[in-house]
Amino acid sequence: MGTVRQMITHEVLTNAIKNRLEVSQDVAQDLAFRVLNYFGFSDEIIDNVLDHDDRRTFYFLQDMQILTTHWEEALLPSGRIWRVFYWDLNTERILQYAASPSEDSRMEAGLYETLPEDVWSRSAA
């Protein structure tokens, strides 16, 4: 039998988006719903199904490491190469981002907020 892969649910993707993008629960839920409407029960979709706005969103999510891409090439009878592009859910990263942020990462993120304001001003030497 093959390996069992973790299915990305709406709740898991919502938590990953919320934690990674630092957005509200409502925004994360809407974005997760929008993404999963394309993927359904699959972890891969063909790029051709996306409209322009959603493709831009997918590129943003790729930058955030929530989605990845790959392509296949086919040789046409005319001799030209045809590329078919695909989007993939980055399951490993999504599960990682969906987990509650650790105490260490919260402390690290708050490091700059603890510095006094005069640290941020430049002075002529």
- Other beta carbons less than 10 A from residue 54's beta carbon: 15
Q: What is the pLDDT of residue 106?
A: 53
> Do 107 and 117 meet the contact criterion of CB atoms below 8 Å apart?
no
Q: What is the pLDDT of residue 122?
A: 72
Closest C-alpha among 21, 16, 42 to residue 99: 16
- The Cα 12–Cα 33 span in angstroms is 11
Q: What is the pLDDT of residue 116?
A: 74
Where do the domains of the chain lie? 10-109
Describe the crossing of helices 10-21 and 91-98 by its angle, rounded to 10 degrees: 70
Hey, which CATH number is domain 10-109, 1.25.40, 1.10.10, 1.10.287, 1.10.1760? 1.10.10
Q: What is the pLDDT of residue 6?
A: 80
pLDDT of the chain, 125 residues: tens digit per residue: 556 678 899 999 999 999 999 999 999 999 999 999 999 989 999 999 999 999 999 999 999 999 999 999 999 999 999 999 999 999 999 999 999 765 455 545 566 677 777 777 776 55
Q: What's the pTM value of the predicted model, to 2 decimals?
A: 0.74
